[in-house]
């Protein structure tokens, strides 16, 4: 009781002001319809603004779940496209060919660990053997090259990143089809190097670089980046700097791509090597 009295004595001027202000507003709104409508509209505007901010906050907090669902739907869509694509090409195979199957399988995954500051970088995803992941499967971020699976446990997998000096992928210039070997030089995480492109070829800054499909890991035509610089290296080939489409500092949701016919291709090629 004493604390309440002390509070009233300390803030009596403010309390009296607020009471009088409330009485004045009450008389103003009840005695004049114009002022009443203006105040009501003002309160409605404030209420709508607060509700809009609450809705936006809830939408932002639910983005993680939305991204996860979109990744799953995207993988399912890729698999469906593969199946429909095969059906449209059935005229090229016998009708009774029971071995004709979808070539690529798509599985969505999320990055749970990642490095970009080392010479040999890797990242970990939240899918493993139980979800159909195997070694030598390609990994893409969106529709761009990210890495290759090198090891799996039951529920997790580790991939070698494109930002690894041991990583190699067969890549070509989209505009003319000439291909070479793309790797990372361990310097800028936004750039890789394309070698083995002969110097008599006309190339330009801005040309798109994509996979060739020759490795039996990445499908043909997966985007890698664009040419940002090139120079003659003292041999018969260019040294081409490629600005990567994938920002490895922002890796989140990925697609793992399995070539279901890879083993058949590798076994056949080994017979002639």
Question: SS3 sequence, 33-89?
Answer: HHHHHHHHHHHHHHHHHHHHHHHHHHHHHCHHHHHHHHHHHHHHHHHHHHHHHHHHC
241: CB partners within 8 A, 6+ apart: 191, 192, 193, 194, 227, 228, 229, 230
Among 162, 114, 115, 163, CA closest to 138 = 162
Q: Do the beta carbons of residue 253 and residue 71 sit within 8 Å?
A: yes
Distance CA 94, CA 52 (A): 60
246: CB partners within 8 A, 6+ apart: 141, 142, 144, 145, 146, 162, 225
CATH for 65-273, options being 3.10.180.10, 2.20.25.570, 2.40.50.140, 2.40.10.340: 2.40.10.340
pLDDT at position 74 is: 67
Distance CA 244, CA 261 (A): 28
149: CB partners within 8 A, 6+ apart: 133, 134, 135, 136, 137, 138, 139, 157, 158, 159, 256
In a structure prediction context, what are the per-residue pLDDT tens digits for the chain, which is 273 residues long? 667 667 667 777 777 777 777 776 666 666 655 555 666 566 666 766 776 676 666 655 555 565 665 666 666 666 666 555 554 443 333 333 334 456 888 999 999 999 999 999 999 999 999 999 999 999 999 899 999 999 999 999 999 999 999 999 999 999 999 999 999 999 999 999 999 999 999 999 999 999 998 988 999 999 999 999 999 877 889 999 999 999 999 999 999 999 988 889 889 988 997
Retrieve residue 154's tokens.
């039951």
Distance CA 213, CA 219 (A): 5
Residue with tokens 């494109």: 162
Q: Do the beta carbons of residue 172 and residue 182 sit within 8 Å?
A: no
Angle CA 95–96–100, to nearest 5? 85
pLDDT at position 89 is: 41
pLDDT digits (tens, 9 = 90+) for 66-123: 566 566 666 666 666 655 555 444 333 333 333 445 688 899 999 999 999 999 999 9
pLDDT at position 155 is: 95
Distance CA 116, CA 190 (A): 10
pLDDT at position 188 is: 96
pLDDT at position 228 is: 97
pLDDT at position 240 is: 97
Which pTM value belongs to this model? 0.65
Distance CA 127, CA 152 (A): 8
pLDDT at position 17 is: 72
Distance CA 270, CA 97 (A): 25
Task: Please compute Rg for the chain using Cα positions.
Answer: 31
Residue with tokens 């791509």: 257
Residues of the chain with CATH 2.40.10.340: 65-273
Distance CA 152, CA 132 (A): 10
Among 161, 178, 85, CA closest to 124 = 161
């Amino acid at each position: 009781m004493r604390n309440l009295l002390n509070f009233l004595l300390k803030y009596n001027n403010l309390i009296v002001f607020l009471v009088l202000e409330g009485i004045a507003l009450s008389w103003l709104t009840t005695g004049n319809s114009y002022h009443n409508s203006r105040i009501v509209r003002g309160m409605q505007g404030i209420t709508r603004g607060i509700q809009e901010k609450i809705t936006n906050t809830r939408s932002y907090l639910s983005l993680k779940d939305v991204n996860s669902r979109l990744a799953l739907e995207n993988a399912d869509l890729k698999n469906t496209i593969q199946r429909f694509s095969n059906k449209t090409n059935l005229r090229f195979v016998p009708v009774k060919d029971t071995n004709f199957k979808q070539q690529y399988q798509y599985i969505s995954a999320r990055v749970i660990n990642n490095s970009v500051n080392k010479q040999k970088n890797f990242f970990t995803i939240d899918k493993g053997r139980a979800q159909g992941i195997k070694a030598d499967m390609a990994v893409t971020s969106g529709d761009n090259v990210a890495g290759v699976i090198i090891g799996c446990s039951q529920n997790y997998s580790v991939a070698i990143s494109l930002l690894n000096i041991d990583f190699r992928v067969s890549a070509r210039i989209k505009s003319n089809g000439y291909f070479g070997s793309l790797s990372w030089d361990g310097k800028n995480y936004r750039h890789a190097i394309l070698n083995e492109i002969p110097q008599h070829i006309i190339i330009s800054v801005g040309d798109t670089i994509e996979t060739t499909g020759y490795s039996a890991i990445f499908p043909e035509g997966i985007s890698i980046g664009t040419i940002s610089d090139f120079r003659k290296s003292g041999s018969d080939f260019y040294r081409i700097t490629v600005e990567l489409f994938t920002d490895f500092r922002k890796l989140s949701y990925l697609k793992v791509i399995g070539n279901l016919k890879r083993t058949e291709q590798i076994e056949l090629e080994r017979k002639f090597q």
